[in-house]
């Protein structure tokens, strides 16, 4: 699951996204992180995915 991180107090919109949930393989985690980074304007990705 991809979620947008909490908005900051700055006037600019947040460019940070978080990944949460479970994946079955390390490769799935890498693919999810790469997909998050591929979104235009993303400055930070918080990876909280768990391998189950």
By the 8 A CB rule, do 47 and 19 touch?
A: yes
Question: At residue 15, does pLDDT exceed 60?
Answer: yes
Count the neighbouring beta carbons within 10 Å of the beta carbon of residue 11: 5
Residue 47: name the closest of 35, 37, 33 by CA.
33
- Entry pTM: 0.68
Categorize the per-residue pLDDT at 14 as very low, low, confident or very high, splitting at 50, 70 and 90. Answer: confident
Please give the backbone phi and psi of residue 34, each rounded to the nearest 5 degrees, phi first. Answer: -60, -40
Give Cα separations from 17 to 7, 23 (angstroms): 10, 17
């Amino acid at each position: 699951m991809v979620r947008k991180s909490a908005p900051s107090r700055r006037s600019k919109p947040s460019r940070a996204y978080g990944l949460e949930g479970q994946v079955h393989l390390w490769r799935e985690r890498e693919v999810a992180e790469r997909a998050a980074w591929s979104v235009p304007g993303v400055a930070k990705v918080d990876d909280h995915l768990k391998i189950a």
